[in-house]
Structure 1
Amino acid sequence: MPLSSRRVLFMAIAQLDSKRLIKKGQVFRIYASEYAKIAKLEMNTAYEQLKSAALDLQKQLIGIPKDQLLSPIPRKGDRPWVRPVGTGIRMLNVTEYCDYEEGDGFVDISFSRQMEPYICMIEGNYTTQVLLSSARLRDTNASNLYQLIRQKIGEKKDRYFEITVDELKDELGLFTIFNKEKKYSYPLFKEFNRSVIKLSIDTITDTTEIKDLSVEIIERKQRKASKLKFTYRVDEQMKFDGF
């Protein structure tokens, strides 16, 4: 998902009330002024990215195995939900629609019915602070590393976690598939560390509640770095000018 679309998605989810489910037909509005403030962009750039995000989100599909589908949020008058048969993948649209109002500078988002329980699940696992921190990150690699760290924190790994270099590249999406073979980007660790890891660490610590973030090599194979250890602390008291 493009960075601008991810920002808009997180800003919409941050508007949810954790004590309530999504209402039928609920619309989430994101203003260009809010987007510019959170992403630290000029207004003309914010307008362009907001429009692009609306187009991308409307085309965004998520594939979920049929046997793992969540039932839609039950509402009065609904027929009982029946899980589809088969073991295939159901492709779901993230949004029912996205409206972009150029003159007023905002986008309205309505999530598709089948996606509503997943949106509520995301909101339940992340605080508003985390969602807005995610939206503020301007670099895709930093955003993906931040999401990985928050995932590890959710797994009760509150101070550190270990991960192989290839697993980290998988999490960051730094690979291509050609003829069914996976080829990782940045074959030299020195380049990967300088161009991706260190820059992402600096961005995350400057932008989010994750502080004192560092990485060290804890395992080598044939002198090549093969396993890393990330350490950090979480500043739960960090204040953020939300919307």
Structure 2
Amino acid sequence: MKSLKKVRHTNELNATLSSIPISAKRVLFLALSQINSTKEIKINDAIYISASEYSSITGTDIKNSYRHLKDGADILASIGLRLEKEEVKSIQKMIGLKGEPSHIRLSLMDYCAYLPEEGRVAIRFSPAAAHYISSIIGTERKYTTQALISVVMLSTTHSTTLYQLIRKMIGLSIHRYGNSFSISVNDLKREMGLVDENGELTWPEYPIFKRDVLNKAIKEISEKTEINNLTFEVSGKIGRKVSDLRFTYNVDEDKFKNSFKSEDDKFLDEFDKLFPPEGN
């Protein structure tokens, strides 16, 4: 059985992921999926992503896949990763920065290159960002694991950020497959990147937030990912104002068990149908 292909990244990358467009997020996850999170990233190595791979996993028409791939890579090239608090200390010595900075902003990418004749792009993480991404090695429950096929199939920012939050909570759970969590409405909005240029929370009216953000995101997550039976209920109020929510869900890790079969796997499946193994 093929396991569900996963992408693992430090929790502190979540804020950056919540703020970037879908096209850039898809390219980033296709790159992260090629990284072995148990080893240090080789910073001199480029990561190649082909239009055919993008098309296959996102369901995008092959004629448009290279354009989408290139657009996503263009956005990634301009993105910075913001680090605060203990994350600053974890990388400060490595980059040779003295003093007590309130935060650090790193360039995520060293470069993005475009290879139209080969139908693919090449990206390379910046040395500092590569070191930071690799810092999840040996860190318990401080990382988020997402299913590659799920995160790239989701088509709206609200869906991807809520899905990301659920996978983060699963990672933080003492039990690997925890199936519920509570969160304040304000923290939920922050996790989903629902802040304006001044850092103020958006979607102030809860009924509208529930209708236009949560309900729509839950519908798509339930249809396209391994998270099912996803519901939420009000778990706290301040006066008449909703202040806290509780989410419950189930995780079906086998939902996409055949999604990453190679051509050899598919051939063997068909061969077994025609010539069943002895004893069957």
- What TM-score, normalized to structure 2? 0.74
Q: Mean alpha-carbon deviation: is it higher for 32-41 or for 136-145?
A: 32-41
Task: Give me the whole-angstrom Cα distance separating, in 1, the residues matched to 2:194 and 2:131.
Answer: 29
Distance in 2 separating the partners of 1:101 and 1:54: 12
User: CA–CA distance in 1 between the matches of 2:135 and 2:252?
Assistant: 24
2:209 aligns with: 192
Deviation (angstroms), 1:134: 1.8
* Distance (whole Å) between structure 1 residues aligned to residue 125 and residue 182 of structure 2: 36
Match of 1:105 in 2: 119
User: Contact between 1:16 and 1:123, CA under 8 Å: does it hold in 2?
Assistant: no
Q: How does 1:158-169 map to 2 (within 5 A)?
A: 158-169=178-189
Which residue of 1 is the match for residue 259 of structure 2?
241
- Counterpart residue type for residue 31 of structure 1: S
Contact kept, 8 Å, 1:213 with 1:231, in 2: the verdict is yes
In the alignment, structure 1 residue 114 sits paired with structure 2 residue 128: yes
1:90 aligns with 2:108: no
Paired residue secondary structure (2:211): helix
Question: Which residues in structure 2 correspond to 1:1-243 (within 5 Å)?
Answer: 1-65=20-84, 67-70=88-91, 81=94, 83-88=96-101, 89-121=103-135, 125=143, 130-156=147-173, 158-178=178-198, 182=200, 184-238=201-255, 239=257, 241-242=259-260
- Give the TM-score normalised by the residue count of structure 1: 0.84
CA gap of 1:121–1:49, structure 2 versus 1, over 3 A, is: farther
Letter in 2 for 1:37: S
Question: Which letter does structure 1 place at the counterpart of 2:51?
Answer: A
Where do 5+ consecutive residues of structure 2 fail to align?
Answer: 1-19, 263-280
Q: Secondary structure at the match of 1:214?
A: strand
Q: Offset at 1:45?
A: 3.2
Amino acid at match of 2:131: P
Cα distance change on mapping 1:121 and 1:41 into 2, 3 Å: farther
1:13 partner amino acid: L
TM-aligned CA deviation for residue 123 of structure 1 = 8.5
1-side partners of 2:22 and 2:32: how far apart? 15
Q: Judge conservation of contact 2:189–2:195 (CA < 8 Å) in 1.
A: yes
Partners of 1:93 and 1:28 lie apart in 2 by: 17
**CA distance in 2 between partners of 1:82 and 1:222 (Å):** 49
2: CA distance, partners of 1:31 / 1:41: 13
Contact 2:43 2:124 in 1 (8 A): no
Tell me: CA distance 1:21–1:82, structure 2 relative to 1, closer, same or farther (3 Å): closer
Report if the CA contact (8 A) 1:165-1:225 is conserved: yes
Deviation at 1:43, TM superposition (A): 2.5
CA contact (8 A) 2:158 2:213 kept: yes
What is the DSSP-based 3-state SS (H/G/I as helix, E as strand, rest coil) of the residue aligned with 2:196? strand
Quote the offset at 1:17 in angstroms: 2.5
Deviation per CA, 1:21-44, whole angstroms, max 9, x where unpaired? 322411211111221222222233
Q: CA deviation at 1:209?
A: 1.5
The share of aligned pairs that are identical, in percent, is 35
Alignment deviations for residues 129-170 of structure 1 (CA, whole Å, 9 cap, x no partner): 623422222111111111111111111161111111122111
Aligned equivalents of 1:226, 1:168: Cα separation in 2: 10
Alpha-carbon distance in 2 for matches of 1:82, 1:224: 46
